[in-house]
Structure 1
Amino acid sequence: MKDGERDVVWVELQKAAAMLDNELSARLDERVGMSSTEFQLLWYLANAVDRSLTMSEAAARLSMSPSGMTRLADRLVRRGWVERMTDAANRRFAIITLTAEGVTAARDGYRVARTARKQLFDARLTEDETRALGGIVGKLLGRIDLTDVTP
């Protein structure tokens, strides 16, 4: 494959990701009053041990700067969806924890996100294409493909 072809794939991958995120954000905002970034943080917290993450863990998962994570957490604290506290074991770490209202918001957002996924993703890709894309995205994100690990 030539560089020009790779350039096109590279740009189209970025465009597809942006288009999906923009559409998801629009649907989430319209139906449950949150952005896709807010939903992603709620989703990560809902699936974390004790429904808590350090601010630095959350920032890493969302590929955000520390200041961006602080602004995001502040918005969610004001909405009553998360609580922020200092880690008792190490006061240098701030921890955010999902509240009961945050669990409800995460569930509401998940219903919207799942419908969007079915309409924008599942309806357009076969199972084989989805598996292949998952492997490609996983490789790009630096994950280890467990099917390639020998026992």
Structure 2
Amino acid sequence: MPQRVQTWRDYLESSILLQTALDDQLRADSQMSLLEYHLLLLLSEATDRRLRMGDLAREMVFSSSRLTYQVGVLEKRGWVRRDKDTTDARSTWACLTDDGVDVLRQASRGHLQAVRSLFLDALDDDEVAVLGRVFARQRQRLRELGV
């Protein structure tokens, strides 16, 4: 098998294994999926712990209908709420609640430990730096392509 094809296969299979393991850990320990964790994390990092739904959909790489559904699920749990944008009637904010902050903080302990043990511990500092550059470049390129 050519090296580029093997590299792609190794990346694909290892990323699926890693995402599955991290999702399983979060579901077992915190009753949330990896995608839900990511959504809460994005809101926690945003100014005032809120993002416009359209911006959040782009960050999550979700369709607007998929994001609406996912935010609705988290809203029922009390972790997220939707607020109308007072400056633009067409927009809605997704806002992280105090309960959402608490559950994210609790989930982060086990999640970060799993990230370390399943991903980071297998790499030395040079490999982490190389992967950081590669993934940042790939993310930027894919965003520029509109993916």
Same fold (TM over 0.5): yes
Q: Which has the higher helix share?
A: 2
Q: Give the number of equivalent residue pairs.
A: 141
1-side partners of 2:140 and 2:43: how far apart?
Answer: 22
- Name the amino acid aligned to 1:122: L
Match in the other structure for 1:47: 45
Which residue among 1, 4, 14 is the counterpart of 2:2?
4
Gaps of 5+ in 2: 142-147
What's the C-alpha RMSD, in Å, of the aligned pairs?
Answer: 1.4
- Name the amino acid aligned to 2:130: A
Deviations 1:44-79 (A, max 9, x none): 111110000111111111111111111110000000
- Name the amino acid aligned to 2:74: L
Q: By how many angstroms is 1:14 displaced?
A: 2.1
- Name the amino acid aligned to 2:27: D
Mapped pair 1:70 → 2:68: yes
TM-score, with structure 1 as normaliser = 0.88
Match in the other structure for 1:58: 56
- Name the amino acid aligned to 2:26: L
Q: By how many angstroms is 1:127 displaced?
A: 0.8
Q: By how many angstroms is 1:12 displaced?
A: 2.2
- Name the amino acid aligned to 2:100: G
2-side partners of 1:131 and 1:111: how far apart?
Answer: 23
- Name the amino acid aligned to 1:14: L
| Larger mean Cα displacement after TM superposition, 109-118 or 129-138 | 109-118
Q: By how many angstroms is 1:110 displaced?
A: 1.2
